[in-house]
């Protein structure tokens, strides 16, 4: 299966050279990312190699296994929940909007009447909600075999989480960082266990702005999103290093360009996704790599890798320890497990 090429050297782009001087910095970022999308689609069409991407071919069953998926009420999270429920897993759908979560769970049960899916409230933009969620979960479950950090926000206007973090870094990275920290003991006791972190191709465009990690000095929604997706990847890599030998594996994934409402905050991205919707993955197709990393037998001991289209994908070498320390300090935790 043909892998998509990364946004090579994207951080060196001079946005001041954009064709329209009236574009905001946000729209300039979206325009650049959009041009990359158009280029990928165009090349695919010319070569006639476009497809839905990789498909998880594993027939592994998950009977007796417990799975937790964040953001499971829509998109690739919902499709992942459906697939793993069909495999026999008890699937806990952690959602900010419980009503929408229950609708998604009912939809899954209509497709597969034996689905063991449960909805729990989890707001990744609120550390007190994360802690309350974990306290309840630890009372209700004895094991957790698969954690899929899937939920995310994309290119939203500048707003802070309950704890004062920039929303995209707060939800996409810090919320999942704290959630995993609070669940790591349970995962270790349930080993062999797997952690799957949903990142994005956009991590190639990002860099960690340690001088202004929370975008208090300046804010660009596109670059903040890319930073958060890079943070996802770096978190997965560093956590894998720290858990080596524990029988808990950690891998990150790029789901592909998926038709969803995730781009709703960007007019340009919404327009591009609408124009080229025929060439974008469906949520079901986008979920395949997450499913693959969660169940594939051949990955039982593979950790610290990045995947795209159900295959290993290369990433640029970057250090993750500085971000780990900064994240721990922001959350007021000491991760010594």
Q: What are phi and psi of 50, to 5 degrees?
A: -65, 135
CA angle 33, 35, 41 (to 5 degrees): 105
Task: Supply 212's token pair.
Answer: 């202004």
Indicate if 225 belongs to the active site: yes
Q: Is 164 left (phi over 0), alpha (psi -120 to 50) or beta?
A: left
* Cα separations in angstroms, 141 against 53, 118, 144, 179: 35, 12, 7, 16
Set 42, 50, 158, 225: catalytic member: 225
Antiparallel, parallel or unpaired: β 248-254 and 193-198? parallel
| Residue given tokens 């296994």 in the structure block | 65
Q: How far apart are CA 14 and CA 160, in angstroms?
A: 28
Catalytic positions:
225
């Amino acid at each position: 299966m043909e892998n998509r090429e990364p946004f090579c050297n994207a951080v060196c782009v001079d946005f001041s050279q954009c064709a329209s001087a009236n574009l905001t910095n946000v729209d300039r970022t979206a325009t650049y990312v959009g041009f990359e999308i158009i280029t990928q689609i165009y090349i695919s069409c010319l070569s006639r190699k476009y497809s839905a991407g990789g498909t998880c071919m594993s027939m592994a069953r998950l009977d007796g296994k417990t799975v937790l998926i964040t953001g499971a009420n829509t998109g690739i999270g919902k499709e992942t929940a459906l697939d793993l429920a069909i495999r026999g897993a008890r699937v806990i759908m952690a959602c900010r909007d419980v009503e929408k979560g229950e609708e998604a769970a009912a939809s899954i049960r209509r497709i597969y009447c034996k689905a063991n899916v449960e909805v729990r409230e989890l707001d990744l933009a609120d550390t007190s909600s994360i802690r309350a969620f974990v306290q309840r979960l630890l009372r209700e479950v004895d094991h957790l075999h698969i954690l899929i950090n899937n939920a995310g926000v994309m290119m939203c206007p500048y707003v802070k989480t309950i704890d004062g973090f920039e929303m995209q870094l707060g939800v996409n990275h810090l919320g999942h960082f704290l959630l995993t920290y609070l669940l790591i003991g349970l995962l270790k006791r349930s080993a062999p266990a797997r952690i799957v972190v949903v990142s994005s191709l956009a991590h190639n465009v990002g860099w960690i702005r340690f001088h202004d990690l929370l975008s208090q000095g300046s804010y660009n929604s596109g670059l903040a999103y890319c930073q958060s997706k890079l943070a996802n990847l770096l978190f997965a890599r560093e956590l894998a290093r720290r858990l080596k030998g524990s029988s808990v594996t950690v891998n990150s994934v790029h789901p592909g360009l998926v038709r969803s409402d995730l781009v709703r905050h960007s007019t340009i991205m919404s327009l591009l996704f609408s124009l080229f919707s025929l060439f974008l993955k469906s949520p079901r197709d986008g979920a395949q790599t997450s499913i693959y990393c969660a169940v594939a037998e051949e990955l039982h001991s593979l950790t610290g890798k990045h995947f795209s289209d159900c295959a290993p994908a290369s990433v640029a070498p970057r250090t993750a320890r500085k971000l780990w320390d900064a994240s721990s300090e922001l959350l007021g935790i000491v991760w010594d497990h």
